[in-house]
Amino acid sequence: MNNGRDLGAARDSNGVSPRGISKGCRYVIAVVAITLAMSSLRAARNDSLPPLPPTPKKPVIDVYHGVKVEDDYQWLENWNDPTVRAWSDAQNRRARAFLAALPARDEIYHRLLALAGKSSASYSDMKYRAHMLFAIKFQPPKQQPILVTLNSALDPSSERVIVDPNRIDPTGTTAIDFYEPSPDGRYVAVSLSRGGSENGTLHVYDVRTSRPLPDVIPRVNKGTAGGSVAWTASGSGLYYTRYPSPGERPAQDLDFFQEIYFHKLGAPGSSDRYSLGKNFPRIAEIALHTSSDGRYILAVVANGDGGQFEHFLLTSQGTWRQITRFADGDTQAVFGEDQALYLLSQKGTPRGSILRLPLSNPSLASARTVVPEGHEVVESFLPTARRLYVSDIWGGPSDLRVFSLRGRPVGKIAIEPVSSVGDLVRLSGDELIFESQSYRRPPAWYRFEPSLPAPVRTALWEKSAVDFSDIQVIRAFAVSKDGTRIPMSILMRKGTPLDGRNPTLLTAYGGFGISLTPSYGFSRRIWFDQGGVWVIANLRGGGEYGEDWHRQGMLTKKQNVFDDFAACAEYLTAKGYTRASKLAIEGGSNGGLSMGAELTQHPKLFRAVVSFVGIYDMLREEATTPNAVFNTTEFGSVKNAQQFKALLAYSPYQHVTDGTAYPAVLFFTGANDPRVNPMQSRKMTARLQAATSSGLPILLRTSSNSGHIQSSLNEEVMEIADADAFLFNQLGVE
């Protein structure tokens, strides 16, 4: 599922942000002067658009646990039907005509493209091997990030390009899914996919020459369970995640049953051997890790997307040993330099405690607590030679604590207030580098070691032509329906009057234990310069206050998320930040589900809605999309009577009511989306268009070149230009 919206915001754990660029792909945007005169409003009137395509009702009755549910637009699920494709194309032409009629749209688009080419490079997904840093680098106007090496974070001039997808595919739609260097830094395995499909094939490159080896392994990565690789100590072979080949399982199972195989470099793929996974769940998601000395390989197995994990250790004797089970509540695991495995436990400690497990006796019974649960929520951690660095979160912002390996508190590392800590990367000894950013300061990589009084910014920091010194960040709390306090970050220019007249964008995610942390987004400048307010809400379902906060917004308690969001909207209007006619809401994927729930449950609270790759029919997603089965551990399943009852109670598609004055809505979807079936957006569009009495536009924009992830820089900039122009038009921004 994906998260976030603005240009420059970090991606979620699945690597995406709907109206943003990847974690390492941020752009500089100058002040954009946008004038929406009344002529532009007239130009975009519905009567000047291409006609809506015929959308007949073809009722189908589905029965769940004795409950009959009528579905008039189930026929729109069949993408193989030429009628459905023609309908989608007609909707897309209508959306394009509406957006093209907005003068602000082209101005935003061209300014973004021009300024993107002038922005500084950004670096993400750092890994340290053999005294080299590997990193994903993005340098607009390149369409895709590239893989590079650096001798040091202090020396960008030492950079060498290892894999450049822009040269591999001049169309700009081939992307790096993930990469993993060998322990000696000689080779690097890279998964590549096209068109946002996430169907990745593994390639191996010689780091010294940047040339590919003959080794090519298909079916390593998909949009359902992702993919991963772990090298042997010698670098002569690697373990990799593998999906079934056609003929090995029924067609409906080819996106499931991920297993671990071993490949020896130079050997034909037909000789690759099975290693582990036959007894894993159908919805297993596997992440592989190698210890720094190469003696051990760890397999972290998730039971779908609900937050349950098991851990398996491959020893030097070549045997796999199970260390934890789903019921044990252990989530993250990191190899230490002291022949130990460190685990993040949430069993009985929902804010997280850290365990140390000796590899000489790799059983959970031998583990002991080194960092007990505290007030803060442990978000990530990194053991080094003699230190344990712990990144915490509390409601959104981060903190960074330091312990000895036995858990003795050593102190804190000073970071900017109301900021976030990203990746922690171990170098040598107790030295590390970490990424940090805030709502007002762009991302930068910092170096720290115990001899330093404070972290030192490296040469890998993003230069911004946009100044946010005039922006204030207000931490506020709304009170949800059940009395729970919901934190928000409210961003606006200093001195903005609270007179209820400010165009305001409220965004949130609220799911999968994913936290919305402070991030720098250059495109927000557009809103601020139009007197706008930008609000990020930290809803239940996320991880901002730990696993309890997550569980209060999942499965049968999902309605809490929507109540939280509505409470934030009501707070903004009650306090004079905005009013309903000036308030827009936006979200993507799981956040898109929230958009559907909000516009059906509270249609009068907002003037406009932008929703990216969202889920709206919670009853049919499981039957139509392989990835939806992975989501059942988070959302619930229609096969479970109690969970079905909860799903039906909020499923947006089933709660569209004829004759209701719905807000203006712009739906975005990608034809190649492997995570959320585009039929979700088609059906919700059809149902709203038939039901609404407001006369406001209900538009469906489908990208033929993208999936859940935008396929290129140009696609992402086009989305931002379309969405901003639409929202300004609807909010009456002049």
d(CA 30, CA 193): 32
State whether 457 and 471 are in the same domain: no
State whether 655 and 576 are in the same domain: yes
d(CA 444, CA 123): 9
Maximum Cα–Cα distance across the chain: 75
pLDDT level of residue 64 (50, 70, 90 thresholds): very high
Look at residue 347 and tell me if it is in a domain: no
- pLDDT at residue 2 is higher than 60: no
State whether 602 and 457 are in the same domain: no
State whether 152 and 74 are in the same domain: no
pLDDT level of residue 40 (50, 70, 90 thresholds): very low
Q: List Cα–Cα distances, 56 to 75, 94, 318, 466, 689, in angstroms.
A: 9, 18, 61, 49, 12
User: Of 39-43, 288-292, 368-372, 702-706, which gets the smallest average pLDDT?
Assistant: 39-43
Look at residue 76 and tell me if it is in a domain: yes
Look at residue 364 and tell me if it is in a domain: no
- Structural contact between residues 380 and 424, judged by C-beta atoms closer than 8 angstroms: yes
Token pair 């637009």: residue: 73
User: Of 225-229, 576-580, 597-601, 709-713, which gets the smallest average pLDDT?
Assistant: 709-713
Domain count, the chain: 3
Identify the domain boundary among 295, 325, 350.
Answer: 295
Structure tokens given for 543: 């991880």
> How would you list the strands of the sheet with 273-276, edge to edge?
229-231, 237-242, 259-264, 273-276
DSSP string, 108-119: HHHHHHHHHTTS
Res 703: pLDDT? 85
pLDDT level of residue 710 (50, 70, 90 thresholds): low
State whether 517 and 595 are in the same domain: yes
- pLDDT at residue 126 is higher than 80: yes
Q: With 0-12 CB in 10 A as exposed, 13-18 as middle and 19+ as buried, what is 647?
A: buried
The whole-model pTM stands at 0.91
H-state helical runs in 201-327: none
For 478-515, the three-class secondary structure string (H helix, E strand, C coil) is EECCCCCEEEEEEEEECCCCCCCCCCEEEECCCCCCCC
pLDDT level of residue 37 (50, 70, 90 thresholds): very low
Q: With 0-12 CB in 10 A as exposed, 13-18 as middle and 19+ as buried, what is 224?
A: buried
Mean pLDDT value across residues 461-480? 92
d(CA 622, CA 643): 13
State whether 628 and 611 are in the same domain: yes
Identify the domain boundary among 239, 269, 295.
Answer: 295
d(CA 326, CA 310): 5
Mean pLDDT value across residues 126-139? 95
Structure tokens given for 264: 């020896």
d(CA 642, CA 522): 44
Look at residue 96 and tell me if it is in a domain: yes
Cβ-Cβ contacts under 8 Å for 370 (sequence gap 6 or more): 342, 354, 355, 356, 388, 403, 405, 406, 407
Which domain, by its residues, includes 392?
378-463
Res 39: pLDDT? 31
State the average pLDDT for the chain: 91
DSSP code of 121? Answer: P
Query: 636's torsion region: left (phi>0), alpha (psi -120 to 50) or beta?
Result: left
State whether 160 and 277 are in the same domain: yes
- Structural contact between residues 448 and 414, judged by C-beta atoms closer than 8 angstroms: no
Mean pLDDT value across residues 78-95? 96
Q: What digits encode the pLDDT tens for the residues 153-183?
A: 999 999 999 999 999 999 888 999 999 999 9
d(CA 6, CA 523): 6
State whether 526 and 407 are in the same domain: no
CB environment 330-368: b (16+ within 10 A), e (fewer): bbbbbbbbeebbbbbbbeebbbbbbbbbebeebebeebe
- pLDDT at residue 471 is higher than 70: yes
DSSP code of 246? Answer: B
Could you tell me how far CA 335 lies from the centroid of its own chain? 25
pLDDT level of residue 593 (50, 70, 90 thresholds): very high
Q: What digits encode the pLDDT tens for the residues 401-428?
A: 999 999 999 999 999 999 999 999 999 9
Look at residue 330 and tell me if it is in a domain: no
Cβ-Cβ contacts under 8 Å for 266 (sequence gap 6 or more): 213, 214, 215
- Structural contact between residues 505 and 470, judged by C-beta atoms closer than 8 angstroms: no
- pLDDT at residue 623 is higher than 70: yes
Measured in degrees and rounded to the nearest 5, phi and psi for residue 624 equal: -120, -15
- pLDDT at residue 22 is higher than 60: no
State whether 99 and 188 are in the same domain: no
- pLDDT at residue 234 is higher than 80: yes
What is the bridge-based pairing of β-strands 664-670 and 583-588? unpaired
High-pLDDT (> 70) share of the chain, %: 93
Instruction: Using alpha carbons, select from 552, 514, 537, 543 the residue that is nearest to residue 394.
Output: 543
pLDDT level of residue 711 (50, 70, 90 thresholds): low
State whether 444 and 474 are in the same domain: no
Look at residue 4 and tell me if it is in a domain: no
State whether 560 and 704 are in the same domain: yes
- pLDDT at residue 233 is higher than 70: yes
DSSP code of 333? Answer: E
The CATH code of the domain that includes 242 is: 2.130.10.120
DSSP string, 523-571: THHHHHHTT-EEEEE--BTBSTT-HHHHHTTSGGGTHHHHHHHHHHHHH
- pLDDT at residue 272 is higher than 60: yes
Mean pLDDT value across residues 387-408? 96
Structure tokens given for 120: 């500084």
Q: With 0-12 CB in 10 A as exposed, 13-18 as middle and 19+ as buried, what is 47?
A: exposed
Look at residue 555 and tell me if it is in a domain: yes
High-pLDDT (> 90) share of the chain, %: 82
The CATH code of the domain that includes 582 is: 3.40.50.1820
d(CA 726, CA 511): 27
Look at residue 480 and tell me if it is in a domain: yes
Q: Is the peptide bond before 141 cis (omega within 30 degrees of 0)?
A: yes
Mean pLDDT value across residues 2-31? 32
Identify the domain boundary among 295, 325, 341.
Answer: 295
Instruction: Using alpha carbons, select from 729, 716, 512, 726 the residue that is nearest to residue 5.
Output: 716
State whether 88 and 43 are in the same domain: yes
d(CA 620, CA 576): 40
What is the bridge-based pairing of β-strands 664-670 and 698-703? parallel
Res 47: pLDDT? 59
